[in-house]
Structure 1
């Protein structure tokens, strides 16, 4: 094999090894830093925003609203055809008087869409602080998208912990491992998009 080609192959192999190592270390850091508790459970914010994707998220948001942690609740990414009464009925524990304080968003289909939809609602209400309710493994990407869309609004994370996701010993549970690896990949894509879109927005280009 010619020396030049051998050198090229070695360079490619070394670069691939470095990249793989960086991805593995990044993933381990991502999993290690996932929230394992609610940092400020008693704090009151102007509003609560729940991202759909699990029944425990909605029930947690409704419970927080009932306990006075905020005066309004916005649920983003709701299936079309579901109204507030149906949402309260499915949640079972939510009292009927909460109907007046819950708003549903039907447009979002992605986490980035959740952030856009929620930002429009938050800005329309002139709120300055929001408690964000979503799964713990989903929180890093959600915070990234929400803070990018609402830089002037304080976002207080409120993670929930689905029983089927084993954060502590994820390597022993193939389902949890696959979910966390997939979420890490989506988080990296969101980070790259933020790096690209941020400067474009600063230059006046919509993103």
Structure 2
């Protein structure tokens, strides 16, 4: 009777050991992911050939336009814009341009919208087409701090020959040192971490650079009519 129970106990110990190992790997990966989330002092202060803003918050667009105004790069590309949205509609989310038509017209020549992407991998593919069209060698990548690790993973995969300079913004739900103490940031980090893991796994089956979508959609001007964002 006792002898019959030994294999069962041995299997249980093996299962528990495997689960403990998997949890340790998961926790180590989470720690590495959090380490990759940039802080306020981790921005590149140089210049680049272009600026890429990933949609998802007015702070991102505002920061991209600030870089453009400071002549840190001559062109700005906003990826993942709603198909019906125009530049005028997008600029309406930025107070500095909302009531200043001249300011909006001043940047219309240098801001382009991409309408094809609906996720981060799509952002990278869409941007690859824009970079290929413009023969750019370097970009500022503007997105939220918690979104930056996965964005860099996708962009490095799609743009192996491009210098990518991460330029994070820090919205109200940005990741702080005590992120685990608040339910909202805890959920945010865990969700983003698992999306990051899925992106890593997808790269194991498709490690090469992403295929571009070809030339990006035509530039929208500040004088264009209104559309849903």
* Structure 2 equivalent of residue 91 of structure 1: 94
Relative distance call for 1:206 and 1:54 in structure 2 (3 A) is closer
1:164 matched to 2:173:
yes
Counterpart mapping for 1:3-82 below 5 A: 3-82=6-85
Structure 2 unaligned runs (5+)? 98-102, 213-229
Q: Deviations over 1:72-100 (max 9, x none)?
A: 10001111221112212221214220011
Residue 194 (structure 2) aligned to one of 179, 185, 190: 185
What is the TM-score normalised by the length of structure 1? 0.91
CA distance in 1 between partners of 2:115 and 2:82 (Å)? 6
Q: Which moved more, 1:80-89 or 1:175-184?
A: 80-89
Count of residues paired in the alignment: 203
Relative distance call for 1:39 and 1:165 in structure 2 (3 A) is closer
CA distance in 2 between partners of 1:20 and 1:42 (Å)? 39
CA distance in 2 between partners of 1:166 and 1:153 (Å)? 27
Q: Which moved more, 1:111-120 or 1:8-17?
A: 8-17
Give 1:58 deviation, angstroms: 0.9
CA distance in 2 between partners of 1:103 and 1:123 (Å)? 14
Give 1:206 deviation, angstroms: 7.4
1:139 matched to 2:148:
yes
Relative distance call for 1:3 and 1:112 in structure 2 (3 A) is same
CA distance in 2 between partners of 1:142 and 1:43 (Å)? 20
Q: Which runs of 4+ in 1 moved over 6 A?
A: none
RMSD: 2.0
Larger radius of gyration: 2
What is the TM-score normalised by the length of structure 2? 0.83
CA distance in 2 between partners of 1:193 and 1:135 (Å)? 22
Relative distance call for 1:126 and 1:114 in structure 2 (3 A) is same
Relative distance call for 1:38 and 1:154 in structure 2 (3 A) is farther
Give 1:66 deviation, angstroms: 1.2
Cα pair 1:38 1:158 within 8 Å, conserved: no
Q: Deviations over 1:153-175 (max 9, x none)?
A: 10000011112234211111100
* Structure 1 equivalent of residue 216 of structure 2: none
